[in-house]
Each structure stands twice: as C-alpha cells, then as structure tokens.
Amino acid sequence: MVIRSKTLRLVILTSTVLITIIVAIQLIWLQKVYLYEEKQFNINVSKSIRSLYSDMELVNDVSDNVQKVIENVNPDVYLLKIDCSPNLEQLWINLKGELTDFDVYTDCRANVYDTATKKYIAEQYIDLPDAYFPSKNEKELQIYERDYPYIALYFPHRGQYIVKQMFFWIASSGFLLLVLIGFGFSIFYLYRQKFFNETQKDFVNNFTHEFKTPLAVIKIAADVLQQQSTLDKPEKLKNYAGIIRDQTSHLQSQVQRLLEIAYTDRSSLPLKKEKFDINLLIAESINDLQPLIEQKHAVLNTNFAVEQLELTADRSYLRLCLINLIENAIKYSTAPVIDISTKVDGTTLFIVIKDNGIGIATEHQKKIFERFYRITDGELHISKGFGLGLNFVKKVIDTHHGKIEVMSELGKGSSFTIKLSLK
C-alpha cells in the first residue's frame, strides 16, 4: 500500500495532536491523584493526632473539633497545642502507635516547645516500622514562637511518601508514555523513510527528465543526417555529427552522475564546483539545442556584460539549468525570439532568459518551481512533461545559494532571472 505524502503528513499531525492531548490529560490526572493522596495523608495524620489527644488528655477541652488545637504551619509541620507537660516516654510510645494505626508510614520527628525558654526542650525520632525514607540525620527543625506550649510533628519526607503511594498510577502513566514514545518514533521513522525514498526518487525523476532533451536532439540530428541535402554539405554533416557526439558524451556523464546520486543519502545535490566561463557555457547550451532551434525557427540573441566572465560552480548542473530554461522558452513560443543576457552587480551575477511566449498567469508563477506542478487550463495540461524541470532548476540554484525569479504576463512572454554569487 502506498501512502501519499499529504496523507502521511495528516497522520503525523493528527498523531502529534492526540499524543499531546493524552500527555496533557495524564499530567492533569497525576496532579489530581497527588492532591488526593496529599489530602488522604492529612486526614490520616489528623486522625492520629485526634486519637493521641484522646489517649493522653493533652488539652483540657478538645471538644469535637480537634482542628482548633492543630496548626499546619507548612505541609510538613504540624503544631499540636497542649495545656500540660506530657510524660515524654509515654508520648513517644503513643505517638508511634497512633501513626502506625492510621497508616502513616513515613519517618517523623517530634519536638516539645516550652513558652518560658522559647525553645524545644525535648526531641524524638519516631522510628516507624516499614517507614519509607527513614532518616535520623535531618536538619534542625525551625522554632515557631508561640504563646502556648505545643508538640511539633515534622514529616521530612512527606512529598516522597505521597509519590510512593502513587507508584501504581505513575507506573501506568510511564508505561503509557513509553507506548506513545514508541508510536511517535514509529511514525517518525515511517516519515523519514518515505522522505529518503522520495528524495532518491526525485533524483531519478529529475535526471530521467533531463535525458529527454539530449535524446530528442540526437533524434533530430539523426533525421537531418538522413536527408540527402545534408549529405551534400560536408560542413553541415560534420556539425550534426559533432552534436550527436557531444550529446552522447553528455548523456554518459549524466548516467554516471545519476548512479552516484541514486546511492547517496544526501538530501541536497552533491556539487562538483569548478571555475569556468559562464558566457562560454551559455553558448554551449545554445549549441546543444541547435536542432530544436532550427526546427522551431527560433531566434536567439545574446548580450554579455563582460566578454569573459568566470564563475565557480557546478558546470554540469548549471548547464542543465540553462538548457531547461532555453528549451522551455523555445517550446512555449509560436515564433520564438529569446534574449539571453548577463550582467554583474557587485559580486552578484545575473543571467536573464527572456522570451515572447505564451506567458504564465500570476496565480501560477509562485508554484511553477514546485515538484510535479503543471499548469492546467481545466483538464488540459498546458505545460508538458512531469513538472520536474523547473523544480530541478530551482534545486540546483538553491544548492548554489542563489536565487531564481520569474516575471511573466499572459500572451507577452516570460523572463527568468538567475542570481549567483561570484565569490
């Protein structure tokens, strides 16, 4: 089954949104579970304190609301108001028992505060059985000055204890997260694989497209050579034989290059830069198209700003670009008149190819460089081929860090401008 790029992108987008929503829901859910466990911890501690007050009669009148004598100064510390000095040994035993009875299984430190000295006069580590995170070496408990004596209960690992209580929920959320990550990587791998496949296919399609022109030129030249009028003109015969030889050599070069590209994972075109005369390259590109020029009775005018202009670039790729643009200018003109000019502005080279062809509508001008894009009029494809030529041209120019622009008007022709750095 072939998955289209648009469909795959939609799947990826939808999956990303769904994964984000699921992760957000999980985080909110875990937060609510934490708040629930925190509330349950506070309830269990309050029950332990209520029972402690009841057993030891630490205050004269607790009434029914024990919360009146409990001050929760921070999440980890409870201050228990007392009216009398308790029996410390009995206090520690009872406190340990009450915490255990009400399922508070984390370490606790108990300090007794004296109003006269404004200090803790007694301190005890409550060694709970099966305590999570037991530790006797915690920092000193802060003194909270009050006008009444109290017992301070300090739970140093309260937060860790609550998280420990959430182990099942955290584990299930973690497992779900791993599944989502695995799914995300699978989608990413699928997209990456498809991208590489499309890149390689793009290379092949582009070069396959470029084979058509040399083959067409060879065919036209061969047809001309078969004419009796050509056989009687040695110079013309020699010229067309040279064209066939040059085009065959060019095809051999492109086949080799295609093989190199087909086995590479590079997402951009591999450049083989060299220094050459751009004016000479334009002349060679025109000569390559000579049979087509004669067939269409095209007129080509050249205007070079500098007699000899050296450029460092990939000669073969740039030649393909020029042939593409000139060929299109000829094909899409009834009586082709093509003007090819070069100029230099600072360190920038401008190559302009202007024709008097059918032109391109404004709504199509930004899209003609897209892969597989073909101009249509209803169900009729105005542009020939597979919509690869101009896309390949733009890719070559982009790889050279240059720009290509088009100006066109229906019925009045088009002008393509290539901008390249001379540095």
Q: What is the pLDDT of residue 263?
A: 44
Judge whether 70 lies within some domain.
yes
Within this chain, do residues 274 and 161 fall inside the same structural domain, yes or no?
no
- In this prediction, residue 338 has a pLDDT band, given cuts at 50, 70 and 90, of very high
- Please compute the mean of the pLDDT values over residues 62-69 and round it to a whole number: 64
- The CATH number that applies at residue 366 is 3.30.565.10
Dist CA 368 CA 383 (whole Å): 10
Q: Which residue has the higher pLDDT, 400 or 67?
A: 400
Q: Which domain holds residue 397?
A: 268-423
Q: How far apart are CA 76 and CA 109, in angstroms?
A: 11
Q: Has residue 407 got a pLDDT over 60?
A: yes
Domain membership of residue 243 (yes or no) is no
DSSP, res 132: B
Quick one: average pLDDT of 337-341? Answer: 94
pLDDT at residue 1, as a whole number: 42
pLDDT at residue 375 in the model = 54
Q: What average pLDDT does the segment 89-114 reach? A: 89
Q: Which residue has the higher pLDDT, 239 or 263?
A: 239
Structure confidence at residue 331 (pLDDT) = 86
Which structure tokens are listed for 218? 């060879």
Least confidently predicted of 301-305, 314-318, 349-353, 377-381:
377-381
Asked if the model's pLDDT at residue 280 lies above 50, the reply is yes
Q: What is the mean pLDDT of residues 92-97?
A: 90
**What is the band of 352 on the pLDDT scale with cuts at 50, 70, 90?**
very high
The reported pLDDT for the residue numbered 224 is: 80
Residue 233 reports pLDDT greater than 60: yes
Whether 177 is in a domain gets the answer no
Is the Cα torsion angle 39, 41, 44, 50 positive or negative in sign? negative
- Mean pLDDT, residues 367-379: 58
Q: Is it the case that residue 275 has pLDDT exceeding 90?
A: yes
Average pLDDT, the chain: 80
Identify the band that residue 383 occupies on the pLDDT scale cut at 50, 70 and 90. very low
Tokens of 365: 């001008």
Question: Which is higher by pLDDT, 337 or 306?
Answer: 337
Domain final residue, candidates 122, 142, 165: 165
Q: Which residue has the higher pLDDT, 80 or 209?
A: 80
Q: Is the per-residue pLDDT at 379 higher than 60?
A: no
Of residues 371 and 248, which shows the higher confidence score? 248
**Of 121, 136, 165, which marks where a domain is finished?**
165
In a domain, 188, yes or no: no
308 and 422 belong to one structural domain:
yes
- 93-105: buried (b, 16+ CB within 10 Å) or exposed (e) per residue? ebbbebbbebebb
Confidence (pLDDT) at 339: 94
Residue 379 placed within a domain: yes
Cβ neighbours, 10 Å, residue 235: 7
Which of the pair, 239 or 258, is modelled with greater confidence? 239
Task: Verify that 151 and 272 share a domain, yes or no.
Answer: no
133, pLDDT greater than 70: no
Q: Residue 142 domain-assigned?
A: yes
pLDDT at residue 40 tops 60 = yes
pLDDT (average), residues 113-127: 89
pLDDT for position 205: 65
Dist CA 367 CA 239 (whole Å):
39
Residue 402 confidence (pLDDT): 93
**What value does the mean pLDDT take over residues 253-275?**
63
Q: Is the pLDDT of residue 256 over 60?
A: no
| pLDDT tier at 33, thresholds 50, 70, 90 | confident
Model confidence at 367, pLDDT cuts 50, 70, 90, reads confident
155 and 297 assigned to the same domain: no
Domain count, the chain: 2
Given 165, 181, 210, the domain boundary residue is 165
Instruction: Specify which residues 404 forms β-bridges with.
Output: 418
Mean pLDDT for the stretch of residues 92-110:
88
Distances (CA, A) of 154 to 83, 110, 151, 200, 342: 20, 6, 10, 67, 84
Assigned domain for 190 exists: no
Residues 194 and 200: their CA atoms lie apart, in Å, by 10
Give the tens place of pLDDT for each residue, 162-198.
Answer: 888 887 887 887 788 788 787 777 777 777 776 666 6
Q: What angle do CA 358, 360, 365 make, to 5 degrees?
A: 165
pLDDT, average across residues 7-21:
77
The answer to whether position 21 is within a domain reads: yes
Lowest mean pLDDT among 1-5, 163-167, 266-270, 332-336: 1-5
